[in-house]
């Protein structure tokens, strides 16, 4: 088994945090996406989509998509549960993880991909070129990220963690999104004290440096 | 238990197909998003995000997000499995469902939300206004959808269903995406014979009319 990873990319980090929380060690292979290594011949054979992370199992099965990789480890290594346990809890965790991803991480991604010079002409992940950046979409992403922080603030008034009483994959996704947002100068404002409290707690977990 | 649904919206349809495949009947409440009922006072109490579907359990728990709702039913009613069984299979299904959603449904959504007059000034789901449509993003969505069909075609050369040998939630998501694409005149081209074969098979399942 091996995990194709890149230490500077936001999505592989989600998987690394997940593994650290479970105490699982997996051999890693770095794919330097800042040097376009995801488009190299060797990695195109691993994942033609050109994204990391990818988990390669011993039987040759290759799994892309961060949450799908986490799902694999959740089943083979259920403790501690990070994706919920039982029907209601699993659904609540999945709901919040999706919100953290679709409203948080996706908004940050819209800003990054449509502003950073390294993504010029390839504003959609996995595409080699021909997709120009849209300044208006970056602006929309900034507004979406602000709304996401408001949702989180409202949620974290009532619960210590995003999905409820326990740390889960939803915290990992939201934390990674907020941390990635720093790259485009988006920070949690003082008007979100509960998000700041939660963010500081997550940052103190050993997995935060994974 | 009840499901807040709207019969003309793409995402609630995914849940209805999922339930039909499992033979589960759930009382439905219609929320007419074409008349902005998702922003009404009564529904804002159910789901402040203003999206359907929402599953309300007897203990009062409310679950938004289509896939999270499906997860609930997968756990309480495992037969037939639609989200995989065992670690590898579950991860492979999740990977393909996410690709169908993030590359397929999201691309269709980009086109719809940024072109249809009904979404003028609210091009992001759940937002009441102030988000203008971006013609360039609709165009990008059309290109992304084309790439998604190429991925599907390549996949369906080797397997009868998207995630492998069995019908799963990934087929539901991709089918709903392709069907929704018709609303903005995007169809599967003759150059994708395997997608056309698969699409016709899914359309013949009883769940396709759910």
Q: Average of pLDDT values for A155-184?
A: 97
B90/A72 CB distance under 8 A: yes
CATH numeric code, A2-76: 3.40.30.10
Q: Is the pLDDT of residue A108 over 90?
A: yes
Instruction: Locate CATH 1.20.1050.10 in chain B.
Output: 87-209
CATH numeric code, A87-209: 1.20.1050.10
Q: Average of pLDDT values for A145-155?
A: 97
Q: Is the pLDDT of residue A127 over 90?
A: no
* Chain B residue numbers touching A61 (CB-CB < 8 A): 88, 92
Find the CB nearest B65 among A61, A94, A131.
A94
Give the pLDDT score at A126: 85
Q: Is the pLDDT of residue A69 over 90?
A: yes
Per-residue pLDDT of chain B (210 residues; tens, 9 = 90+): 999 999 999 999 999 999 999 999 999 999 999 999 999 999 999 999 999 999 999 999 999 999 999 999 999 999 999 999 999 999 999 999 999 999 999 999 999 999 999 999 999 988 889 999 999 999 999 999 999 999 999 999 999 999 999 999 999 999 999 999 999 999 999 999 999 999 999 999 999 999
Shortest CA gap A172–chain B (Å)? 17
- DSSP code for B119: G
pLDDT digits (tens, 9 = 90+) for A15-65: 999 999 999 999 999 999 999 999 999 999 999 999 999 999 999 999 999
Q: Is the pLDDT of residue A101 over 90?
A: yes
A92/B61 CB distance under 8 A: yes
- Most B CBs within 10 A among A65, A91, A134, A155, hence the mutation to make, goes to A91
Find the CB nearest B88 among A72, A87, A98.
A72
Give the pLDDT score at A85: 96
Cβ-based contacts under 8 A for chains A and B: 100
Give the pLDDT score at A128: 87
Give the pLDDT score at B128: 87
**Mean pLDDT over all residues of chain A?**
96
How large is the angle between the packed helices B169-181 and B106-113, nearest 10 degrees? Answer: 30
A88/B64 CB distance under 8 A: no
Could you give the strand order of the β-sheet that contains A54-56, starting from the edge strand earlier in sequence? A28-30, A2-5, A54-56, A62-64
Can you point out the beta strands (E) in chain B? 2-5, 28-30, 54-56, 62-64
Find the CB nearest A98 among B65, B88, B144.
B65
φ, ψ dihedrals at A209, nearest 5°: -100, 5
Shortest CA gap A62–chain B (Å)? 8
pTM as predicted: 0.97
Instruction: Locate CATH 3.40.30.10 in chain A.
Output: 2-76
Cis peptide before B100 (omega within 30 of 0): no
- List the alpha helices (DSSP H) in A100-168: 106-113, 135-156
Tokens 């002409």, residue located: A121
ipTM surpasses cut 0.90: yes
């Amino acid at each position: 088994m091996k995990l194709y990873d890149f230490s500077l990319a936001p999505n592989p980090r989600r998987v690394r945090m997940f593994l650290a929380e479970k105490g699982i060690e997996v051999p890693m292979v770095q794919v330097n996406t800042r040097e376009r290594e995801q488009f190299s011949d060797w990695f195109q054979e691993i994942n033609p989509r050109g994204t990391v992370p990818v988990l390669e199992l011993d039987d040759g099965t290759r799994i892309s998509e961060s949450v799908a990789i986490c799902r694999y480890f959740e089943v083979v290594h259920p403790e501690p549960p990070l994706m919920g346990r039982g029907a209601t809890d699993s659904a609540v965790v999945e709901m919040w993880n999706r919100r953290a991803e679709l409203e948080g991480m996706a908004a940050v991604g819209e800003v990054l991909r449509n502003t950073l010079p390294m993504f010029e002409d390839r504003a959609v992940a996995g595409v080699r070129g021909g997709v120009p950046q849209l300044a208006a979409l970056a602006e929309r992403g900034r507004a979406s990220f602000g709304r996401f922080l408001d949702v989180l603030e409202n949620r974290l008034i009532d619960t210590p963690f995003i999905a409820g009483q326990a740390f889960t994959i939803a915290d990992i996704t939201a934390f990674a999104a907020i941390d990635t947002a720093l790259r485009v100068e988006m920070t949690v404002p003082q008007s979100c004290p509960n998000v700041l409290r939660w963010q500081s707690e997550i940052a103190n977990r050993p997995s935060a440096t994974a």
